[in-house]
């Protein structure tokens, strides 16, 4: 009896890897040898959409912006899960309905916790003081 090899030959994968590596090296070498050698201040200056940049690129974004963005992503993903549940409503039956209600109650509790914690409030301490003085 003849023995049949079950392991596929690996040489096509190796040849593909070598060819890819060779092409990358050739492109990098060509760009090095054929590229511009002159450097002047205008070529290294940042330029965006025809407008010369003014000022620094280091812009400090307040932490509440990041928190709100993270909360948006989290609750947006949860909404996607609820849309998927709504599509499969008939197939999920009562068990799916109960699970969705538990899921929504956990979301509601999380939102209430974040609200109580003040994570959704962007006001600074000074703005809070001003509002408290205004209310009196």
pLDDT band at 70 (very low <50, low <70, confident <90, very high): confident
pLDDT band at 78 (very low <50, low <70, confident <90, very high): confident
CATH number of 63-135: 1.20.58.1610
Model pTM score = 0.47
Sign of CA dihedral 101, 102, 106, 107: negative
Question: Closest Cα partner for 119 from 74, 76, 73, 63?
Answer: 63
The domain ranges of the chain are: 11-52, 63-135
Task: Give me the pLDDT at residue 102, please.
Answer: 94
Task: Give me the pLDDT at residue 13, please.
Answer: 93
């Amino acid at each position: 009896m003849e023995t049949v090899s079950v392991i596929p030959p690996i040489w096509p994968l190796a040849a593909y890897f070598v060819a890819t590596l060779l092409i990358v090296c050739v492109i990098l070498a060509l760009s090095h040898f054929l590229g511009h050698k002159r450097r002047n201040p205008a070529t290294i200056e940042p330029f965006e959409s025809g407008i010369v940049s003014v000022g620094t690129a280091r812009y400090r974004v307040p932490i509440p912006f990041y928190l709100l963005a993270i909360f948006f992503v989290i609750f947006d993903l949860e909404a996607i899960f609820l849309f998927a549940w709504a599509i499969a409503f008939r197939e999920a039956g009562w068990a799916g309905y109960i699970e969705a209600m538990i899921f929504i109650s956990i979301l509601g509790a999380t939102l209430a916790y974040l609200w109580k914690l003040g994570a959704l409030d962007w006001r600074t301490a000074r703005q809070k003081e001003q509002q408290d003085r205004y209310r009196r």
